[in-house]
Structure 1
Amino acid sequence: MNQARQDEFDALMSEVVQLPALQDATLALRDLERLKFDLVEAGGTVNRANDLIIKSLRRLIETNFFREHKHVLQKIESVLELAIRVKPQPPKDRDLMHIDGKPQLDFFLNRRLFRPPNVINIRSVTVDAGEQDADISALLTDDDVSLEQLEANVDQLLRHRPQVSLATILTEFPPHKGLAEIVGYLTLATQSEAQNKATVREDTQDEITFTTDEGLRTLQLPKIIFVR
């Protein structure tokens, strides 16, 4: 207990001793006056008991450690004794040691010098949407798809309505030649758009379904509308 705590304890004890109710209790006052010394003596007893417990635990740990150490030494000696006995005639049906592959020498002079890594600069550039001005009709041949026949299909539907979408055209005239026929309609739409006979709505998508040798296929294309 530090000095401040002792002074506080003495002040509180003085206040307790001066209480009127304890003035006639001589035995109680005597016990209170000796309380500080009794506490110190009890604390010393507790400290001595703790020292004995610590010594006992330390002795127990040292004893167990000595036993384990002795047991390990006995095991090592038994292994050495067994190795000495079998040394003249080692077992032939098993390998005592086996190293996979051949040993390789690694000298520090054989190592390459340090080369700084190549730094790749990636710039964040906004890519603007371009305009498609290439002629994709070269993808089609007369033997595959006839643009005249596709145009005739569009004209046939426009006879009874002012406009018709590509999805409707493919519903009325299913593409028998797969993706090539759809590309033909796209080529026709590009040519018709220049003549104000077709419009392409980028904000609206049409789902186009067609049949190939591998089964049904689905495309998502901008909505294409042919007009008279």
Structure 2
Amino acid sequence: MHYEQLDALRRQHPAWRLLRADNAPLVLSFLGKVFVEENIRAISASELESRLDDELYALNQRLGEGAFPKSPKTYLNDWAAPESGWLRKYYPADSDEVHFDATPAVEKALGWAKALRERSFVGTESRLNTVFELLRQMAFGAEGDPRVRLAELRRRRDAIDAEIEAVAQGRFALLEPAAQRDRYQQFAATARELLADFREVEANFRQLDRELREQIATWSGAKGELLDDLLGNRNSIAESDQGRSFQAFYDFLLSHDKQTEFTELLAKVQKLDAVEPDPRLRRIHHDWLAAGSRTQATVRMLSEQLRRFLDDQVWLENRRVMDILRGIEANALRLREIREPDVVMGLDATAPEVVLPMERPLYRPVDKAPLDSAGITDAAEDVDADLLFQQVFVDPARLVDGVRSALRGRGQIGLAALLEQRPLEQGLAELVTYLSLSDPGFEVVFDDGQHEQVRWCDTDGVERSARIPRVIFTRAAAPEEQR
């Protein structure tokens, strides 16, 4: 990321503002406990003020009176203000009391703060397996050749048959305790991140709804084009990329077979001796379902509001059309009693002006000035033309053969050592050619941290020297070694 992007995030992003706030520990601890740990998606203002009042009382008792002097209501209003953006303050459709919900910025800041804690065990194997499996799914999921797909399926079938045969003979290896802890750690982190993503998905749906409303409010084209642009699919919000991805996840979550399998697997994993079970993960799939249901309800509510908003726009446009028509009718009735000579209408012209393309003049080429070379004479200066033929040509093939010969009995050789065996014959031009060699049989490595002195004698017998970075020619690996 560039400096300007990071500076804009520092000044504008709510999560960064939260980390910079003086009362950031209070905000993160209280909002994280209510909205993240307890997975509360909507809470009334009175209940949240009561819980914050208890929290402030306990903190003032421990830290001293006056550590947090404001009232709970003031704190909540400050956190929900546009310049903070840590709480969403709204009225639900079925209530006249203010409710609160945390914004995605709270979970982003809380996740960053939790990542600062030291971990006694950091697993990597399970994440590598996950990355490998994702790559396999993408590669073969996009494969259009049936033969490639059949070859992959047969390979998997052979591997499964071999594993079945080994298990039938009693030859199988159990997952080690370290590998169990590794996979459980990744499962717990992914499960929490997935639960946190629901709040961001819901916020993105609301942003999409606002963008659609702005498009409707500022539309200047035909009404039919607007309807085709917004409602060409069943639902503009549900048919977005994020809507389709969320709907696929929600359908998977509502599957009874998948829920049953997930519950059985989770209960079995929680009983393993090698892992330290997280009590919150026992009902994580129920938390997913509750958060998904709320997000689904939000999408449905936004879609209904969008339809009503669009219907209101159509009604206003129809009303304006009717007002214009009534105005025309009123003017016609008012002019009905006026005599014809008194009704005057002006025209800009009696006939339209027609300009045909063939009436334009054709292209006319510009006359070129003639060049007269008849008066050219030989120059009076005496120029030595032998300098044009004293050019030095260095054959790179000869130098490549020399490097290959030197690498036959060793893995690498420096340029200085090579020049001791094969001194420069063409001076500086040959040295520069060594620096630009390229061949499949070896690689050229430049070490800018070390320098070496190279010497040679030119054609006049004068000794020359140059100080260059250390250059090493390394023999390339054979194809069998690369595999």
TM-score tier (shorter): 0.3 to 0.5
**Larger relative strand fraction:** 1
Select the structure with the greater relative contact order (CA < 8 A; seq sep ≥ 6): 1
TM-score norm. by structure 2 comes to: 0.19
Q: Which has the larger radius of gyration?
A: 1
**Larger relative helix fraction:** 2
